[in-house]
Amino acid sequence: MKHHHESPDRATMPVQGNTYNVSREGKELFSALITEYKPASCWANVQIQGAKPGYEEYYPLQSEMRLKVALYEFKKREE
């Protein structure tokens, strides 16, 4: 039996070292620094830089987590 793997959109894949606003299903959740990510891999390690109002409890400042890249949208923050 073949397994279905969700592939990240290559046009919007995050780049390690950059900071992004991260959304899921159209809802902006938090901004995060990509601390570890290999191009075209499934998972990225991130450090939360700030949660959007209402999401602070779920995404504490400076916490680290691992995200499945294909499930989220990443919009690069302009510093």
Sequence ranges of the domains in the chain:
10-76
Q: How many CA atoms are closer than 13 Å to the CA of 2, on its beta-carbon side?
A: 3
Query: What pLDDT was estimated at residue 31?
Result: 98
Q: What is the mean pLDDT of the chain?
A: 89
Is residue 8 very low, low, confident or very high in pLDDT (cuts 50, 70, 90)?
low
Q: How far apart are CA 77 and CA 41, in angstroms?
A: 21
Mean pLDDT calculated for residue range 40-61: 95
Sequence-ordered list of residues with C-beta below 8 angstroms from that of 50, at least 6 positions apart, any chain: 30, 31, 61
76 and 18 in contact (C-beta within 8 Å)?
yes
Q: In the CATH scheme, what architecture does the domain 10-76 have? A: Roll (2.30)
One-letter amino acid for residue 18 of the chain:
N
Above 80 in pLDDT, residue 44? yes
